Amino acid sequence: MENILDKFLRYVAIDTQSDDRSECQPTTSKQIDLQKVLQSELQAMGIASEIDEYGYLMASIPSNVDKDVPAIGFIAHVDTSPDCSGKDVKPQVIENYDGEDIVLNTMKNIVLQVDKFPELKQYKGSTIITTDGTTLLGADDKAGIAAIMYALDYIIQHPAMPHGDIKIAFTPDEEVGRGADHFDVEKFGAQYAYTIDGGEIGELEYENFNAAGVKISIQGQDIHPGYAKGKMINALNIATEINSLLPHTQRPEKTEGYQGFYHLTDMGGTVEEATMDYIIRDHDKELFEAKKKNMMDIVAMLNKRYGKDTIKIDIRDSYYNMKQQIEPHIHIVDKAVEAMKRCEVVPKIKPIRGGTDGARLSYEGLPCPNIFAGGHNFHSRYEYIPLQSMQKASAVILKIIELFVED
């Protein structure tokens, strides 16, 4: 069997960054480059797979037991975040990490500092994989892919291991919120599934944010500033006014745990025209709806001040908290907890301050909690992953498969 590190390093070498400005799916054709590599590896294992027109790769291993066992799926996404370059990734493998600062790039003086990322200390003595400080690493979610592929390789190499039907999907465009847009749940054929898309070792999540995207356009009126009194409407000033009217304490940098937020992700324009993009997040559905209403009320109030239709707002829900869809099937969470314990991993059940493909899939009839892949500092040049955490993720996948057969 090829070791999991070699798999991971091969996957991160392929640029798969998605693009939230694209209207296509997949949003970037380079995501298919990795899908083709994965399909080739699956074929070499003797596992049939298919890449559909939307860039989804699905594969299946049939049951080898006579008893009735639910079909279990494992899902990871191939794309990396638009927030940081994924081109020409140059991973660094640090064996027997000494627990001190890690110099990522001497020429650019980029350092992974323990005082800024104190969780590094818990991995002293481990093998750490980092970036070179110029790109993200891609552990989100190529570590999840590597963990799944290694588990599949193990199953093929150990045909006596009992298992039910195993379903695999590698999705495009998760990072831009479109990973489930064309996911065919019926075709996938799993009764339950797990996304392998969490962070540090032990993470297990079946609650996530309710999420919405907000687009605001502002139509100003430009007049020579020397003659502007009573005539100019400065779209940029209105944009800053909108942002100032939102509660400062409900920004991402001021919130944690179950606390929601408004997050300004993009703003630009001129005196004549300006645009703003926000995301709204909250675990509580009532608070989520209240945040959306607050933005609508602010726009309505400012339109009374500056004139009808000066500001236009479009709010679109992205996904919802999967908790209420998973709780009726809580045994799948219990299975993951037991699998971790048997693999000597301490389960850390907590809400996701984000979303996964599983959030939307759970609402489409496929209950789908999220399991750790092992990485830290996703979407960042400071991203890293302990090799042992990725190995444990693969072991947990195998143990979950065993536990469903044991029932």
Half-sphere exposure of 329 (CA within 13 A, CB side): 19
Domain with CATH 3.40.630.10 in the chain: 4-207+321-406
Out of 174, 197, 282, 383, pick the active-site residue: 174
237 is written with which tokens? 């000033």
* CA gap 68, 65 in Å, rounded: 8
CA atoms within 13 A on the CB side of 350: 17
State both tokens at 337: 């907890």
In tens, the pLDDT along 266-299 reads 999 999 999 999 999 999 999 999 999 999 999 9
Mean pLDDT of 339-361: 93
Q: Above pLDDT 90, what percent of the chain?
A: 96
Q: How far from the centroid of its chain's Cα atoms is residue 211's Cα?
A: 13
88-110 tens-digit pLDDT: 999 999 999 999 999 999 999 99
pLDDT for 355 beyond 90: no
The residues near 344 (Cβ < 8 Å, ≥ 6 apart) are: none
Residue-level length of the chain: 407
Residue type, 345: V
Q: Looking at the predicted structure, is the pLDDT value of residue 144 above 90? A: yes
Residue 396: predicted pLDDT: 98
Structure tokens at 321: 């908290």
Report the 10 Å Cβ neighbour count for 20: 16
Read off the pLDDT band of 177 (50, 70, 90): confident
Closest-CA residue to 315 (of 301, 295, 287): 295
Active-site annotation holds for 186:
no
Q: Reply yes or no on whether 79 is catalytic.
A: yes
* Per-residue pLDDT at 318: 86
Parts of the chain belonging to CATH 3.30.70.360: 210-319
Out of 41, 79, 197, 357, which one is annotated catalytic?
79
- Mean pLDDT over 181-186 rounds to 96
Domain at 4-207+321-406: CATH architecture: 3-Layer(aba) Sandwich (3.40)
- Residue-averaged pLDDT of the chain: 96
Of 140, 200, 107, the residue nearest 356 (C-alpha): 140
Cα distances from 273 to residues 124, 329, 369, in angstroms, run 53, 49, 43
Q: Is the pLDDT of residue 1 over 90?
A: no
Query: What pLDDT shows up at residue 407?
Result: 86
What is the pLDDT at residue 201?
A: 98
Digit-coded pLDDT (tens) for 184-210: 999 999 999 999 999 999 999 999 999
Rounded CA separation 390/42 (Å): 20
- SS3 track for the chain: CCCHHHHHHHHHCCCCECCCCCCCCCCCCHHHHHHHHHHHHHHHHCCCEEECCCCCEEEEECCCCCCCCCCEEEEEECCECCCCCCCCCCCEEECCCCCCCEEEECCCCEEECCCCCHHHHHHCCCCEEECCCCCCCCHHHHHHHHHHHHHHHHHHHCCCCCCCCEEEEEECCHHHCCCCCCCCHHHHCCCEEEEEEECCCCEEECCECEEEEEEEEEECECCCHHHCCCCCECHHHHHHHHHHHCCHHHCHHHCCCCCCEEEEEEEEECCCEEEEEEEEEECCHHHHHHHHHHHHHHHHHHHHHHCCCCEEEEEEEEECCCHHHHHHHCHHHHHHHHHHHHCCCCCEECCECCCCHHHHHHHCCCCCCEEECCCECCCCCCCEEEHHHHHHHHHHHHHHHHHHHHC
State the pLDDT at residue 352. Answer: 87
Distance between CA atoms of residues 163 and 402, nearest Å: 6
pLDDT of residue 354: 81
Pairing assessment for the beta strands 273-282 and 210-219 based on DSSP bridges:
antiparallel
Q: pTM value?
A: 0.88
Angle between helices 4-12 and 387-406 (to 10 degrees): 110
Give one word for 28, left, alpha or beta, with left for phi > 0 and alpha for psi -120 to 50: beta
Q: Which pLDDT score is estimated for 121?
A: 96
CATH fold, domain 210-319, is Alpha-Beta Plaits (3.30.70)
